Every structure is written in structure tokens, then in C-alpha cells.
Amino acid sequence: MELYDIAITSGDDEIVIGLDPAQKGFITAITVKLDTVDDNVSDKSASMLAKIDIKGRMEEEITPQLIKLYDWAREESQAKCYRKLVIHIKDDSFKIRRTFEFENVFVVDYFEEYHSDGENDGENKKPSQFILSLTQKKNMLSSIKNY
């Protein structure tokens, strides 16, 4: 089982999910993708974007962080919309297997998906979830650290 934690920082503002072992499992999936902008690729191009999708369960314990994510998603100020993102991918003993650091990410899309009891099928209860889609600022690929 993989575990994830994220820390999103800008100045004195911080959004952290998963660092506390009590928040284990709130982030359910992370996708990191280097995407060539042009779909008709015949040579290596510098026109690439780093895209990150973070999915997680919406639980009462992380409501304050979800409110901060929502507020960041609608931020228009250039000074506040770009933030640092650190992702840790851990094994079930909390040993870090991989780390990604992005210096200038911004929100492309943010979703909150709620499910009523009518959409739950007994044992197959579908949890409410959030999806945060981020992109690294253009021409900043060389600043991405991964180890």
C-alpha cells in the first residue's frame, strides 16, 4: 500500500495533508506527468508541462486544508497563485520511496465531489472526494527536483 503526503507553501501560508499519521490514507492517488504541449511530436521539444493530479477523500479532519485548497484555486493574484509543492510517496511503514519538489505550481482545476446516501450501495459506499489539478509554471521544468 502506498501512502502520500503533500505540503503546499507560499510565504507564511501552508496547506499540508497526510504528514500526520492520523491523516493516513486521505490522499488516495497522485499522478505526475511530463506532457508535451504539441500532440504532433516528431522531435524532442522544450514545449513540455509538468502536470500533477492529486485525489483524496474528503474527511472532516482535513476540512480546514480543503477550504485553503478551494481558496487557492480561485486566487487571481500573481503573487499568491504560484506555490511550492512537495510530494512524498511512502510505503506502509512510512518510509519515503520518492519525493517530488515543484517550485512554481498553480491550480488548473479543483473539484469537490459529494455523494449522498442514495449513491451508496451498501458495502460499495462511494466516498466524497476532491481532485486538485496543478501545473508547473512554464519554462520551470529544470527547477523540478525528484529523488
* Per-residue pLDDT tens digits for 120-144: 555 667 789 999 999 999 888 899 9
Kindly state the cell numbers that stand for 25: 490514507
Determine the average pLDDT of the residues in 30-51. 80
pLDDT of 51 = 97
Q: What is the pLDDT of residues 68-86, one digit of tens each?
A: 999 999 999 988 899 999 9
Q: What is the pLDDT of residue 48?
A: 86
Predicted pLDDT of residue 120 = 54
Residue 7 clears pLDDT 70, i.e. is over it:
yes
- The larger pLDDT score, comparing residue 43 to residue 59, is at 59
What is the residue extent of each domain of the chain?
Answer: 3-37+47-146
CA quadruple 134, 113, 19, 1: dihedral, nearest 10:
-100
**Residue-level pLDDT at 99:** 98
Report how far apart, in Å, the C-alpha atoms of 42 and of each of 11, 39, 66 are: 41, 9, 41
Distance CA 26, CA 37 (A): 31
Mean pLDDT estimate for the chain: 88
pLDDT for residue 98 is more than 80: yes
The pLDDT, as a whole number, for residue 1 is 75
- Output the pLDDT for position 116: 75
Architecture of 3-37+47-146 per CATH? Roll (2.30)
